[in-house]
A = this chain, B = another copy of it.
Amino acid sequence: MRKLGRHILAEFSGCDREVLNDLQAIECHLKEAARKARATIVDSVFHQYNPHGLSGVVVIAESHISIHTWPEYGYAAADFFTCGDQVDPWEACRYLKEKLGCRDLRTREIARGIPGGNDEILPHKPVESPMARGELA
């Protein structure tokens, strides 16, 4: 595979149920997790469900971080998908584990990219382009 990104799928269980249902807290924690990973936040969307549970996605210049929570199960499914070698998705994952009061974290890291090739790592941003970190369109 010609690799472009790293994608961590995280199952957070045994979490603080109140935090999992607190939209403002989750938004704050997810954005801070992105910063911990040294990602550049581009946009975000958060939604609270009735009677409980919420979804949140932070789009970053390096892909995205997402969460879906089930307070009734004390569980959240989160994704940390990052491209490039300037960001570390594990920093975001560890930060969120702490903030959710998670007692059981299971993760799988999956390489994303173009099938075939010799396991080379492709640049995820054009070389010599004006789009350096933080200089978005």
Contacts and interface: CB of A to CB of B under 8 A. Distances in A.
Interface in A3-57: 4-5, 7, 9, 11, 13, 42-45, 47-52, 55, 57
Nearest to A52: B126
Given A57-B64, A59-B57, A13 B115 contact: yes
A97 B81 CA distance: 21
A66 B64 CA distance: 9
A80 interface: no
Given A7-B9, A64-B57, A43 B51 contact: no
Q: What's the interface size class on A, roughly?
A: 35 or more
Given A72-B126, A131-B49, A114 B43 contact: no
Nearest to A44: B45
A75 B114 contact: yes
A45 B73 contact: no
Contact of A9 (B66, B72, B110, B129): B110
B104 A115 contact: yes
A134 interface: no
28 contacts: A4-B70, A4-B73, A4-B77, A5-B68, A9-B110, A11-B112, A11-B115, A13-B114, A42-B47, A42-B55, A47-B59, A47-B136, A47-B137, A49-B131, A49-B137, A50-B131, A51-B129, A55-B59, A55-B63, A55-B64, A57-B59, A57-B64, A66-B66, A66-B81, A72-B126, A73-B114, A104-B115, A106-B115
